[in-house]
Amino acid sequence: MSAAIKRLFVPAISLGLLAGLMIVLPVDAVTVRLPRQGDALFDAVRVAPGDKIRLQYRHSVEKTLVAGVFAVGAGPVLQTAETRMTSVGTGLPNTRADDTRREGQWLVVDEKMKAIDGFDFFISSVNATRLTVGDTAIAVDTLTSGSVIRIDVRRIRLLDWILWRYGRHEWRKDRYQ
């Protein structure tokens, strides 16, 4: 084997192994899809068990602030952690005496880390919706009023994550059901 071929052999094998690992290795991601737009992937944020997701909005009738706090569980699974609101009233989440406490301005309902399959949320300019995954803000405020988002957590291939993160190439929704 010539010296030139040997110099190319090691990098070629290394690249092949790296590509193989990207196809095989999984990562967990919170996904935000647009159900009314063919389930287009709006955003995805890589997560680990224990990471928090916070959906905050102003209730359109009562004008009170509401925040749903969720967690990523092992598996991955989306879990309900707590619901926070600054008051109670028509159309607001229910409080339960045994599971509700006061923290400053917030009434906090312990949601017991129940596993859920994900959920849809209606975006309205009136609500000033904010969504954060850990320290990462998702720009749902750029969506047209009347849009619907679906928030979920999925295990995906590292390659799909890299293609999304650096090229905004989305993976098919049905790949990770």
| pLDDT given at position 133 | 98
17 in any annotated domain: no
Is 70 exceeded by the pLDDT of residue 11?
no
- Picking from 168, 121, 111, 130, the residue whose alpha carbon sits closest to that of residue 149 is 121
* Mean pLDDT over the full length of the chain: 87
3 in any annotated domain: no
| pLDDT given at position 7 | 73
Q: What domain range includes position 116?
A: 26-176
Q: Give me the number of domains the chain comprises.
A: 1
Is 70 exceeded by the pLDDT of residue 63?
yes
Alpha-carbon gap, residue 22 to 150, rounded angstroms: 26
Which residue do the tokens 């925040």 mark? 67
52 in any annotated domain: yes
20 in any annotated domain: no
79 in any annotated domain: yes
For the stretch 67-105, pLDDT in tens is: 999 999 999 999 999 999 888 766 666 767 788 899 999
Q: How confident is the model at residue 137 (pLDDT cuts 50, 70, 90)?
A: very high
Alpha-carbon gap, residue 159 to 175, rounded angstroms: 13
104 in any annotated domain: yes
Is the model more confident about 125 or about 175? Answer: 125
13 in any annotated domain: no
| pLDDT given at position 52 | 98
Strand order in the sheet with 106-116: 100-103, 106-116, 77-85, 65-73, 52-58, 130-133, 136-138
Give one word for 36, left, alpha or beta, with left for phi > 0 and alpha for psi -120 to 50: alpha
Alpha-carbon gap, residue 105 to 47, rounded angstroms: 29
7 in any annotated domain: no
For the stretch 146-162, pLDDT in tens is: 999 999 999 999 889 89
